[in-house]
Amino acid sequence: MHFRSAVLLGVLLATVATADKKCKCLPGDSCFPSQAEWDAFSKGLSQPLISNQKPFASVCYNTSSDFDATECARRTAVQLDQESLIDAGNTVQLINFQDQLFSNGTVAQCPFGPQPGAVCDQGRVPVYSINATNVEDIEKTVAFASQHNLHLVIRNTGHELLGRAFGVGSVELFVHSMKQSNFSDSFVPTNAPSSTAGQHAVTLQPGVQWGEIYDLADQHDRLIVGGFSVGGTVGAAGGWPVGGGQSIISPFYGLGVDNVLQYTVVLPNATHVAANEFTNPDIFWALRGGGAPSFGVVTSTTYKTHDNIPFTGAFYAASANSSESFLKLMTLWAQSHNEIADAGWGGLWPYFSNQLYLTLASPGNPPTNPAALTAIQTFFNASAQVEGVNVSLTMTVPYRSFQQLVFENLGDTSKGHGLNYSNFHVSGSRAYLSSWLLPREATAPENAETLAKALASVPAGTPYLNGGGAVANVSGDATAVTPAWRNSIADMTIIFSFNETTNATDYANAKNAVHSQIEPFRQIAPVPQGGQYLNEGDVSEPDWQQAHWGANYERLLKIKQEIDPDDLLIVYHGVNSEAWDDEIVCKTV
Ligand SMILES: Cc1cc2nc3c(=O)[nH]c(=O)nc-3n(C[C@H](O)[C@H](O)[C@H](O)COP(=O)(O)OP(=O)(O)OC[C@H]3O[C@@H](n4cnc5c(N)ncnc54)[C@H](O)[C@@H]3O)c2cc1C
Ligand SMILES: *[C@@H]1O[C@H](CO)[C@@H](O)[C@H](O)[C@H]1NC(C)=O
Ligand SMILES: *[C@@H]1O[C@H](CO)[C@@H](O)[C@H](O)[C@H]1NC(C)=O
Ligand SMILES: *[C@@H]1O[C@H](CO)[C@@H](O)[C@H](O)[C@H]1NC(C)=O
Ligand SMILES: *[C@@H]1O[C@H](CO)[C@@H](O)[C@H](O)[C@H]1NC(C)=O
Ligand SMILES: *[C@@H]1O[C@H](CO)[C@@H](O)[C@H](O)[C@H]1NC(C)=O
Ligand SMILES: *[C@@H]1O[C@H](CO)[C@@H](O)[C@H](O)[C@H]1NC(C)=O
Ligand SMILES: *[C@@H]1O[C@H](CO)[C@@H](O)[C@H](O)[C@H]1NC(C)=O
Ligand SMILES: *[C@@H]1O[C@H](CO)[C@@H](O)[C@H](O)[C@H]1NC(C)=O
Ligand SMILES: *[C@@H]1O[C@H](CO)[C@@H](O)[C@H](O)[C@H]1NC(C)=O
Ligand SMILES: *[C@@H]1O[C@H](CO)[C@@H](O)[C@H](O)[C@H]1NC(C)=O
Ligand SMILES: *[C@@H]1O[C@H](CO)[C@@H](O)[C@H](O)[C@H]1NC(C)=O
Ligand SMILES: *[C@@H]1O[C@H](CO)[C@@H](O)[C@H](O)[C@H]1NC(C)=O
């Protein structure tokens, strides 16, 4: 009798264990933690557990239990405000990533401005959220999620462009409340040999954002290499470094990953470790480009800091009166591109509607590279001679620091020049992005016509001049980013925005649009010469392993399988996600 029960129990357990491995435990499943288990877990957290989390706009639905007209008015007013969306754990920057696509052709969502009686759909918004304020919260959450086989997602600022900060039936680990930073003049990595010299560094918790740390670094009279986005809202120490981290000053200081001295991270087995070149070097390597959160939850990132030197900005605006003239302008730009890069400029060159803008930065005032000013002025002058081209702005501007250049053009933009980036932010709207890394050969003068045609075939693009120089100075296998980065000189990025819709075909069309618009660049520089910047990835990229990591994928896969054998931290198109469905709910093989 007892024996039989034990056998039955054994069979039962084996069945559950197999089921557990095949699918994540979602709310409603019998394997999902009971209320008592959640209660016990929540007692150990520093902040109240958020349960029954609903989408940001649910308060506007009279069919929702949290319907609240006053709160609805407040949220409606801030629905496009980046910081409001970041601080709220129940929404992301591009709201198409909180919608869920059904195979019957419909999209489940919860937009603002509902009709009375409409139903707010949960979509991919996590039902439970843990508002972590310390490392212990993260360790406990990872252990609990692992024990119960939960669909755990990590959400920092929610800028994620492959939709991985949210997930169907998921439990959210919200890390954005962790905002400490520490500057040091003599940082020595954990477990470094005693002879290791200290260096200038800053240690950031994951919630710190670029705009904040640029200001603090400037106050400490240091320079930190980071992102260039409207309002400076991208996180400085979560998804950005782990995805590679591109900066307009990367040509002079390297990628984000080239500036990381150490991470601290909670591994999938809930152990908190330091990873640097001396201790856990494989994990350190994987965290420099392998993609977050595949290799654990980062609890801090330590970056080198540099001397806070002045910069020179260069700004340009021109418009062509026909597509033929625009093609000539872009051909001239493509002919000049590498010479301008080699003369010491980094930056970006957005174009749309037959207009070209340049926002460039060069170290030093005047630029330390003696060729810088002549190179840019030669282009300014020559472009004014192109028939049908009206050059409306050419200027160089001295800046006390990189922080000042960024702040005046992306923060308080009233002092900005050229393209006004404030008018181009996409927070709270729907869009997909794609990117393609262009090797030096693609932007070489002899290929200028081919490149210009590809550029002009896309209605709008935001290429970054962010490679060469210090980026090219690092070997392809030194970090986990695709080796294509090391021969890249520019990163062509495109965005395709679309309107609110519940028709899944519109979503598919938008994905196809970005994917086909980047295709000409993929053809100019196929893998392994070209590749895709992981943080600006294309959700429809079929060959994502090669596009994102190239020859480094094999080593990443090995490390991933070793440290996450139970697939706790698998994400869409992340390392070792091949066996899972797109929503990372069940294994398909
Ligand atoms: C408007 C806009 C502008 C951008 N501009 C730039 C730019 O100038 N340069 C550039 O390089 N990129 C840029 N990006 C892309 C941006 O770098 C990536 O989206 C990046 O992954 C954001 O990281 P996050 O931590 O801020 O955001 P999140 O969306 O919260 O996180 C991104 C990913 O990292 C994971 N993650 C977050 N925190 C952790 C953690 N602590 N541990 C483990 N995993 C974690 C998340 O699960 C998610 O998969 C931009 C994106 C947007 C939407
Ligand atoms: C929502 O409002 C509509 C229109 O006023 C009304 O018909 C409906 O009964 C309301 N629903 C709920 C759940 O209150
Ligand atoms: C998370 O906790 C912090 C600290 O208590 C608090 O300021 C913040 O509002 C909380 N965030 C959410 C989304 O609950
Ligand atoms: C589409 O499928 C989803 C999930 O099965 C369901 O909730 C929804 O009601 C369906 N929509 C239509 C219009 O049939
Ligand atoms: C910053 O330094 C203080 C004091 O040494 C330490 O207590 C704290 O944990 C550090 N914070 C980070 C994010 O490293
Ligand atoms: C550009 O044109 C200006 C004005 O004609 C001239 O002074 C300058 O020397 C030119 N610069 C270069 C590099 O051609
Ligand atoms: C564009 O400008 C050129 C030079 O001024 C002029 O010859 C041409 O007719 C214009 N073309 C159009 C389409 O306006
Ligand atoms: C050139 O562009 C500027 C700024 O847009 C505009 O004011 C000016 O009229 C244009 N000149 C010509 C000749 O089109
Ligand atoms: C850029 O746009 C923002 C927001 O519209 C505005 O506040 C700022 O003054 C503009 N900058 C310039 C230089 O016109
Ligand atoms: C490349 O690395 C070498 C050796 O570390 C260094 O001297 C040189 O300045 C670097 N070049 C760039 C462009 O960073
Ligand atoms: C989106 O909506 C706006 C305003 O209603 C409209 O002007 C635009 O054409 C729409 N775009 C698409 C792609 O449907
Ligand atoms: C979605 O839009 C497409 C194309 O406009 C149309 O053919 C299809 O019937 C629509 N599907 C639904 C469910 O409305
Ligand atoms: C956790 O995983 C790491 C990396 O695989 C391993 O070194 C460590 O021993 C593990 N810790 C425990 C407690 O299992």
Residues ≥6 apart with Cβ < 8 Å to 430: 94, 95, 96, 497, 498, 499, 500, 510
Residue 376 belongs to some domain of the structure: yes
Residue 403: what pLDDT?
98
Q: To test the ligand 8 pocket, which listed residue (392, 419, 420) has its Cβ within 8 A of the most ligand atoms?
A: 392
**Confidence tier at 103 by pLDDT (50, 70, 90):** confident
Using one digit for the tens of pLDDT, what is the confidence trace for 442-489?
999 999 999 999 999 999 999 999 999 999 999 999 999 999 999 999
pLDDT of residue 21: 67
pLDDT at 8: 35
Q: CA 388, CA 289: separation in Å to the nearest integer?
A: 44
C-beta 133 within 6 A of ligand 5: no
pLDDT at 589: 87
**Residue 242 in this model has a pLDDT that exceeds 50:** yes
Instruction: Measure the CA–CA gap between 119 and 268, rounded to whole angstroms.
Output: 37
Same domain, yes or no: 385 and 472: yes
Task: Report the amino acid identity of residue 320.
Answer: A
What's the whole-number mean pLDDT along residues 340-350? 98
Chain mean pLDDT for the chain? 95
Quick one: tokens of 75?
A: 């949220």
Q: Give the predicted TM-score (pTM) of the model.
A: 0.95
Q: Give the pLDDT band of residue 425 (cuts 50, 70, 90).
A: confident
100 C-beta neighbours (distance < 10 Å), count: 18
Distance 267 CA to ligand 13 centre (A): 8
Residue-wise pLDDT for 154-169, tens only, equals 999 999 999 999 999 9
Q: Is residue 574 part of a domain?
A: no
Categorize the per-residue pLDDT at 106 as very low, low, confident or very high, splitting at 50, 70 and 90: very high
**Which CATH number belongs to the domain containing residue 99 in this structure?**
3.30.43.10
Q: What is the pLDDT of residues 357-395, one digit of tens each?
A: 999 999 999 999 999 999 999 999 999 999 999 999 999
Q: At 172, list the tokens.
A: 């959210």
In this structure, are 255 and 111 located in the same domain?
A: no
304 and 315 share one domain = no
Say if residue 32 is in the same domain as residue 13: yes
Q: What percent of the chain has pLDDT over 70?
A: 96
Cα dist. 416→350, 427, 522 in Å?
15, 20, 33
* Ligand 3 site residues, Cβ closer than 6 angstroms: 47, 89, 131, 133, 177
- Contact between 427 and 80 under an 8 Å Cβ cutoff? The reply is yes
- Written as one string, the DSSP assignment of 483-499 is GGGGGEEEEEEEEEEE-
Give the range of the structural domain holding residue 283, as residue numbers without chain letter. Answer: 181-308
| Residue 293 confidence (pLDDT) | 98
Ligand 1, from 80, 129, 141, 159: best to mutate by most atoms within 8 Å of Cβ? 159
Q: Are residues 56 and 172 in the same domain?
A: yes
Has residue 341 been placed in a domain? yes
469 occurs within a structural domain? yes
Q: Which of 308, 335, 367 is the last residue of a domain?
A: 308
